[in-house]
Each structure stands twice: as C-alpha cells, then as structure tokens.
A and B are shown apart, each in its own frame.
Chain A
Amino acid sequence: MHKLLLLIENETLKMWKKRRFLVIVLVLLVIIPMFTYAQLTVAQNNKDKFADWRNEVLQQITDMQNRLSSNRIPEEWKKQQRIAVQQLQYYLDHDVNPSSPNGVTFTREFMNNAVGLFIPLLVLTIGSDLVSGERGTGTIKMLLTKPVRRWKVLFSKLAALTLYVSLLVGVMVLLCYLISGMFFGYGGWGLPIFTGFTINGSEVDTSFVHVVPQWLYMLMQTGLVWLSAMTVAILALMVSVLVRSTAASMVIMMASVIAGTILSSMSSSWENAKYLFAVNLNLPAYLEGSPPPIEGMSFSFSLIVLAIWAIAGLIVSFSVFTKQDILN
C-alpha cells in the first residue's frame, strides 16, 4: 500500500514536471477573459436596451416565437426552440432572472458550454500520452523492468490522471469565477435556479420543477462535468495503451470527441449514435432541462452509457497493459 502511494506520487510529480498542467492553466487564462469580455458586451447592450430584465426575457421569447413561425427552419430545431420558450416563460412567471449577470452565473454557463468539447480536449492533453508517451521515449522499459507489478504501474497512472482531471475541473471553476467576478461581481451564490424540467416531445413538463440555490446547482453541475471528463480521461488512457504513438492516440480521441459533438448538433436521425460515448458527454444539459441531442436519451441513459464505456475502457487498458510485449 505504501509502495502504491509512492508510485502515485511518482506519476503525479512526473506529470507536474512535464508542465502540461501549466499549459492548460495558461490556455484557461487566455480563453476565460475572452469569454468574459464577450459576455460583458452582451450585458452592456442589454442594459442599454432594457431597463428591466423582464423586458429582456420577453424580447427573447418574442424573437424565438417569430423564428418559429418561419417555414425555413427545420422541425428538429423548432422543437428545441419551443422548449426553450416554455422554460423562459417559466422563469418569467416565477419572477426569476435566468441569466442575471454575476460571477457564478457566468461560471455555470461557461462550464455548461465547455463540457462537450473544450474540457475533453484539455483532458486529452493530459491523458493521451500517459502510456504511449513512455513508449515513444523508451522510458517504459525503465518503468516495467522494476520489481513492480504492471497493474500497479497502470493504476498509479490512472490515479494521477484522476487527480489532474479533478484539479482541472476545480481550477477551471475557480478561474472562471475569479476572472468573471472582476467584471460581474462575485455574488450570485444564492440565486434561485429551476431544475427538473422534463421533456415530452416538444412540451415541457414542469410538474417536477423545483428551485435550487445556484451554489447547489453549481455543485451538481461540477460533479456531472467531472463524471464526463473522467470518462474521456479513462478512454484516453485506454487508447494510449493500445496505440504506440502519442500523435495517433491524440488524433483518435479528438476525432471521436469531435464526431460526437457533430452528431449531437445534427440531432441525428441515426438513432444508434446515442450509444456512442461522445454523444453522451453533455450531462449538465439534463440538469438544465434542454432536450437531449437524440431521441430516446435521458439522464440515466447517458450515465449508464458513459459508465459502460468507462468500465470497458478500464478492463481493456488493464488486461492489455499487463500482458502486452514491449517490443520497441
């Protein structure tokens, strides 16, 4: 047990010294201010136009309804719009501003948008070279000729990866809050958020809707973001065990994640796509009550699909890693 801890310490320090995480933090430090600025201009515009946020929401609803009456818009898209209208209406009826500008709301929305593509890409920069990188440099030989069972070596890598994914999600939330708070203020923790919208076709069922304070919502959302990021991390680990080159391992994972986002945004008629892991990554969407990308998906469905992918990924990683011949 003591030795396992030392191994995990080894992997953690090694990843730290590779300075990958530093790069990720730098990327965040560039991207978050950009989005904060964009959000700031939007907020400024709305403030100039509407004295009251209710008018702003009303305007949004009218805009959407106008668009709905157009014939050129595909039916799939209309469905989503109708749902969005009903949700906005619900907020309006209960006199709650769905996007009051503050640090917490910004963070919530940023994370919500990042979970499908941005976070997976950052996770891949840490996870894709865990094993293939060691094969590329040949250090895997040093690693596996030590009197340590191979599963322990892989386990220590997995543990370090879990640590860094958690750190990534944590740092991202923190940086979002700190940076956006400078402009929007650091309040908003207690703001009421509605969750529990259920969707029946194009109708929104509000019978399960309940109010949660925004801090609790954030907590739940961050948990879900972590789950989806971990799934990506585990699959990246698997691919890096299976593929010898880091470049190939990176490309394979990126391609699948990007394919997933494309498939979800196409609201695809290919229903079986819902079993792909990348289509199910957007777990926080269920919390928000937006319609699933493919018919037949639900919160528990997505959780199960991700869990199966992750478990299969772990089984493949460990069974291949402990048996494979190191030939190069």
Chain B
Amino acid sequence: MEQSNVVLQVTNLSKKIRGKQIIHDVSFEVRAGEIFGFLGPNGSGKTTTIRMLVDLIKPTSGKIQICGHDVQKQPEQALRHIGSIVENPEMYGFMTGWDNLQYFANMLDDVDEARICEVVEIVSLTQRIHEKVKTYSLGMKQRLGIAQALLGRPKLLILDEPTNGLDPLGIKELRAFVRMLAGEGISLFISSHLLSEIQLMCDRVAIIDKGRVLAVGSVDELVQQAGTYVLWQLEPREQGIALLLQGGKVAIVSEEEHRIDESVLASMPEAVVTTMPLEDIAHTVSRLVAEGISVEGVHKAAPTLEELFLNMTEGKSLA
C-alpha cells in the first residue's frame, strides 16, 4: 500500500499510566476510504488508544501520524484531518445544537454557516437544531456529535463505540450512515466490543486485547481463520449423529468447547454443533435425507468474539 493512501499510521504505540503498562506496542494503519474496525472487549485499551489518536493522552512511546503529520509534533496540522467522538457525544446542554456547531466551527478553519447547514442536513437534525441540547434524546445527541465531527471536512472520522445505547433502528441507521460516508471517501475508524457489529460495518479490523493488538486484517479473513460452526437439527437425533460422523470429515464439538452466541442456540434447540468443510454441507444433507433422517435445520454460525480471541491466543483461557 502506498504511503499517500494511508490516512492514519500508528507505530509501536505504548502507554504507561501510573507505572502500569496499559498499551503495549500497538501498530496498525487505516487506509483512505476504508471502514476500519477496532475490536476488543471492555477494558482492553480501545478508548485509551483512541484518546491517544486524538491527542487527549500523550503516548509514552511510539508515533501517530495523521495524513503524514505527527500528532505530538504538529497537533494543529494533524487534528485538522480528524473528526471524532470519544465515548459519549457530550455537547454543551445549555446551548442550542446550532450554537454548539457554531462554537466548534470557530475552532476550525474555513467552516462557514453554509457548511454548518450542510452537516445539519446530513445528519437530519434540521427540525430541532435551534433547540437546547439538553432536550435532545441520545440518538439526537449522537447525530449532533457526528455533525460536529464532520464540520471540518475530515479525512478520518473516529467513532468510539457508536452503537452504545442506540436502539436497533438507530443502529441500522448508523450503519447506513457510515457506509454513505465511506462512499464519499471518508475513512472511518470504529471501535466496538461486538464482533457482529464490526462484521456488518467494517472492511478491515484490528483486534485488541489487554492492550495488545492480536491481529490486523480483513474482517472476512479473520472470521474464516476462526472457523465456522455448522449446526444441525436432526430427527431422530442419535441416528443422525451417527450418520454425520460417517466419512470422517465431520467433527462434533461438545457443549463445553464451543462458544456460540446464545441467541443462535436458542433458535435451534437440541442442535448438534460440528465443524466440517463448508463445501460438504449440501452433500451431507442429501446423504442424511437419503438415509431417512429429516433435516429440520442447518445453520452456519460465526464464532463469537471470545472464540476469535481464543483462537488467537492459542487456547489460553480468557477468564
């Protein structure tokens, strides 16, 4: 990848707080126009890393470059290209949405009233922009936060756990919105503790745990790496299992070993969890049917975040 295509370059970032190493040697890059996921459980160092990206926390060592500008050495040039919401979109509640945007516009270069109107339009807040922010719902605050982040026409938008506290409809809207922005050439950096969310939104992902980046890669690759489970709902069950095991390509995973999302299991009671070559599924189904087993359901289940971690840390327990 060419250097000019890299919007955000993080190299060997470390942070010590009160003698405790919080972030260990983190490196990754975000390229122009991509949606980059930053995945990790709560307390893994996501927010600390993000705070370093936007100059709220000084790194102990390492380098952060935004569009070629070092955040430490040239904060004004570097931060010009970033729009961000760190944790919650906190604005001045005693001012109107418009006043808040005007306020932040004053801190940026070349942001005029027309631009403010434009971003208000983008996040569809035109109706209530002249009301005080303290009367806004969380979803509206989130949108105002995004409007604020977009004001300076950033090349990179950083959103920290953007779906937190949003209802399912809000989450769906946010996803569409994120894709729309990416379509306009803005890179997005989105942190989350939910794999499904990252899977739905992002092109590439960095996985962080206990302050270390475990893997960086395309989302599809990572998910594949972790392996996919195939769930079978068979009747009669015991005979079905016996048949599945014939041929030696299918392995049964016991209940203690697999980590599949509870909601998936709930929709398939009594399911047999297996790992097998995915291209064999169709063949296996016809084989089972031919033997008189009724196949009531077959389901491919993606591993959970924990599963990914488990694979990456090579079987070491997460607990």
Binding site for B on A (CB under 8 A): 3, 6-7, 9-10, 13-14, 17-19, 137-139, 141-149, 323, 325-327
Contacts and interface: CB of A to CB of B under 8 A. Distances in A.
A3 B51 CA distance: 25
Given A147-B76, A149-B76, A326-B51, A18 B82 contact: no
Contacts of A145: 54-56, 79, 82, 84, 86
Interface in B78-106: 78-80, 82, 84, 86-88, 90-95, 99, 103-104, 106
Contact of A147 (B79, B87, B88, B94): B79
26 contacts: A3-B107, A3-B109, A6-B107, A7-B106, A7-B107, A9-B106, A10-B106, A13-B99, A14-B95, A17-B92, A17-B94, A18-B94, A137-B90, A137-B92, A137-B93, A141-B86, A144-B55, A144-B56, A145-B55, A145-B79, A145-B84, A147-B80, A147-B108, A147-B152, A148-B76, A327-B57
A139 B85 CA distance: 11
A311 B84 CA distance: 35
Please list the 4 inter-chain residue pairs (A to B) with the smallest Cβ-Cβ separation, ordered nearest first. A138-B90, A147-B79, A146-B107, A326-B56
A90 B78 CA distance: 69
Contacts of A142: 90-91, 104, 148
A147 B75 contact: yes
Contacts of A141: 54, 56, 86-87, 90
Q: What is the interface residue range for chain B against chain A?
A: 20 to 34
Given A138-B88, A142-B148, A327-B17, A147 B57 contact: no
The B interface, classified by DSSP as helix, strand, loop or mixed, is: loop
Interface of B: 17, 51, 54-58, 75-80, 82, 84, 86-88, 90-95, 99, 103-104, 106-109, 148, 152
A210 B225 CA distance: 92
Contacts of B109: 3, 147
A277 to B, nearest CB: 31
Contact of B103 (A10, A138, A147): A10
A320 to B, nearest CB: 13
Contacts of A17: 92, 94-95, 99
A325 B95 contact: no
A146 B56 CA distance: 10
Contacts of B99: 13, 17
Nearest to A139: B90
A325 B80 contact: no
Contacts of A9: 106
Contacts of B95: 14, 17
A139 B92 contact: yes
A19 B94 CA distance: 9
B17 A325 contact: yes
A263 B87 CA distance: 46
B75 A149 contact: yes
Given A10-B106, A146-B108, A148-B107, A139 B91 contact: yes
Contacts of B107: 3, 6-7, 10, 143, 146-148
Contacts of B152: 147
B58 A325 contact: yes
Given A13-B103, A141-B86, A148-B107, 5 more contacts: A17-B94, A137-B90, A139-B91, A147-B109, A325-B51
